[in-house]
Amino acid sequence: MKKNKLIIFLLAAFYFAACENTSRNASEEISEDSVVICKSEKDSVVTCERVKDSLLATIDEEKHLESLVFWAPDTACVMNPELLLLLDTLYQHVRSDEYSTNPKIEEQWMNSFRKRICEYYDRNHDDQESRSEFEKAELVLEEGARLMEADHDDSNMGMLIRNSTEVTFARLSEYGLLTQMIRRYKNSQTRNLLYKEWELFEDIRINMSSIIDDFIFLTYCDGTAGIPLRPERWLDMSDSRRKMYQNILKLESQSLEDEEYYRCDAVEYLFRIMSDEATNMMKDWEDDQNDGSPFMNEREFKRYQEVKKETENDIKAIRPKLNEWIKLWDTIESRLTYTNSHKMRQVASKMLIELARIAPDMEEHRYVGY
């Protein structure tokens, strides 16, 4: 069911994109006169399209819809084609069957790609000696994000493309933080536990993404206004994950701020917030249906009730996984010598509390776009 929903979402996204993008001729090659100083707005449009066609010609035609170049603003292709093609490799990899769910295997690919990112940085910046490989990678990803914001577009499709791109870039950032953790702790048992934590959270991420998608469906009644929010909420989840890693890496040298903030049962807190939200959403729509001017027809309301039930089941299913994951941080910390005060668990708990705020935060957007 969840896989079908994802397929439907992607097909819808491609449909909207097809409506907003003209067909491209991918047979031209890049020539020196493709990138010129345009003398008029018409010249600028033609030049951008020619360069984009030239870049697409370097990519298998069957993979055009899966490429970053296809979804990038035309002007981005002129501004920095080298960076766009470089990040296209990351974009296509994360979305392909080559992306491995085994973190040891995928970490190797990400480390290899980070070297290419660093080579790009070194060619284009003068401060390469003072930057670590991870700093260089983050700066290049930021540059890529700015590139994708060329011809800023706040339509549903524009926001969907930007948010989806940043979610993809975030995978390299997350793996960079995992690699820093792995390099810090030399003990093989500790490293294996860190890889196990990654695998367990990836399973949780899939469940959380499904729950977030369900909340968006319930909030917007499957309206198109909710489409760009999906990758936006996935990005929020990735941001929380990265902050958790960063705070754990600081534990040896810094104390936790506002420690009392972490003392609640974060798993129970997250479970209760999501359960209450699902119940409240259903009650709101039922009230609307019974007030004499129903927003949904009978078929739509039945589908709404089905999704609500699926959401409740997803929330129940994620609870034992969250408990296992939070306890694993105690096990990891027990392998280390510098602390045994459950601080890793506290940092992980804060991330769960932040996740509890993602779905309810959508409530303020209700009815937008209708």
Tens digits of residue pLDDT in 174-191: 999 999 999 988 889 999
Encoded amino acid at 258, one letter: D
Encoded amino acid at 309, one letter: K
How many domains does the structure of the chain reveal?
Answer: 1
Q: Write out pLDDT tens, residues 123-153.
A: 999 887 889 999 999 999 999 999 988 766 7
Residue 325 pLDDT class (50, 70, 90 cuts): very high
Q: Domain residues for 218?
A: 186-249+262-365
Buried/exposed code over 274-285 (b: 16+ C-beta within 10 A; e: otherwise): beebbeebbeeb
Highest mean pLDDT among 30-39, 44-53, 221-230, 351-360: 351-360
Specify if 61 maps to a domain.
no
Distances in Å between the alpha carbon of 226 and those of 13, 15, 158, 214?
12, 15, 13, 11
- At residue 222, the pLDDT reads 62
Specify if 225 maps to a domain.
yes
- At residue 328, the pLDDT reads 94
Specify if 216 maps to a domain.
yes
Specify if 320 maps to a domain.
yes
Specify if 234 maps to a domain.
yes
Specify if 27 maps to a domain.
no
- At residue 360, the pLDDT reads 56
Q: The whole model's pTM is what?
A: 0.80
pLDDT at 36 over 60: no
- At residue 153, the pLDDT reads 73
Specify if 103 maps to a domain.
no
Residue 340 pLDDT class (50, 70, 90 cuts): low
Place of tokens 């501004």: 79
Give Cβ neighbours of residue 223 (< 8 Å, ≥ 6 apart). 369, 370
CB-count burial class (<10 Å; 0-12, 13-18, 19+) for 349: buried
Between 188-220 and 103-124, two packed helices, what is the crossing angle to 10 degrees? 80
Residue 253 pLDDT class (50, 70, 90 cuts): low
Average pLDDT of 71-92?
90
341 vs 133, residue with greater confidence: 133
pLDDT at 219 over 70: yes
Specify if 293 maps to a domain.
yes
Give Cβ neighbours of residue 81 (< 8 Å, ≥ 6 apart). 30, 51, 55
DSSP string computed for 247-281:
HHHTTTT-PPSSGGGG-S-HHHHHHHHHHHHHHHH
